[in-house]
């Protein structure tokens, strides 16, 4: 199975901050990388796929980049509604695997 290592596991930030979350795969996944947002008590929601393609309806302050084994989610100008847990997921091979999550908290 491909292991996904996400960092940091948590971070504190203020409204308006730029936030970066990284995800490293144990082998190359050829841009087959998605990011999800999960708010407390709710199901995850797809934010980006194919490493950098924004899902319909997702604000443009979310962006993704990366290639090979290393990928990044950036939130440019954190908003109050962005405080949540974020997960990366590789779908290059079965089983699809998730990172352990990054909890974004209010500073």
Partner 1 sequence: EVQLLESGGGLIQPGGSLRLSCAASGFTLSTYAMSWVRQAPGKGLELVSGINTRVVGTYYADSVKGRFTISRDNSKNKVDLQMNSLRGEDTAIYYCAKFVGGSYHDPFDLWGQGTLVTVSS
Residues of the shown chain interacting with partner 1 in the complex, contacts defined by CB under 8 A: 32, 34, 36, 42-46, 49, 55, 87, 89, 91-92, 94-101
The residue (of 45 and 72) whose beta carbon lies closer to partner 1 is: 45
Nearest approach in angstroms of CB 15 to partner 1 is 26
Determine the 3-state secondary structure of 10 from DSSP: strand
The residue (of 18 and 53) whose beta carbon lies closer to partner 1 is: 53
Of 74, 64, 71, 93, the residue nearest 25 (C-alpha): 71
The residue (of 17 and 24) whose beta carbon lies closer to partner 1 is: 24
Which sign, positive or negative, has the C-alpha torsion 90, 48, 36, 13?
positive
Nearest approach in angstroms of CB 94 to partner 1 is 5
Tokens 């909890």 found at = 103
- Report which secondary-structure segment, H or E, holds 62: strand 62-67
């Amino acid at each position: 199975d491909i292991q996904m290592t996400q960092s940091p596991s948590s971070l504190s930030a203020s409204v308006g901050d730029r936030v970066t979350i990284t995800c490293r795969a144990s082998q190359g996944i050829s841009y087959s990388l998605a990011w999800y947002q999960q708010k407390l008590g709710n199901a995850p929601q797809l934010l980006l796929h194919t490493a950098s393609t924004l899902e319909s309806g997702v604000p443009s302050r979310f962006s993704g980049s990366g290639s090979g084994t290393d990928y990044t989610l950036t939130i440019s100008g954190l908003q109050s509604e962005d405080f949540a847990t974020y997960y990366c997921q590789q779908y290059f091979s079965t089983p699809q695997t998730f990172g352990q999550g990054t909890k974004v908290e209010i500073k």
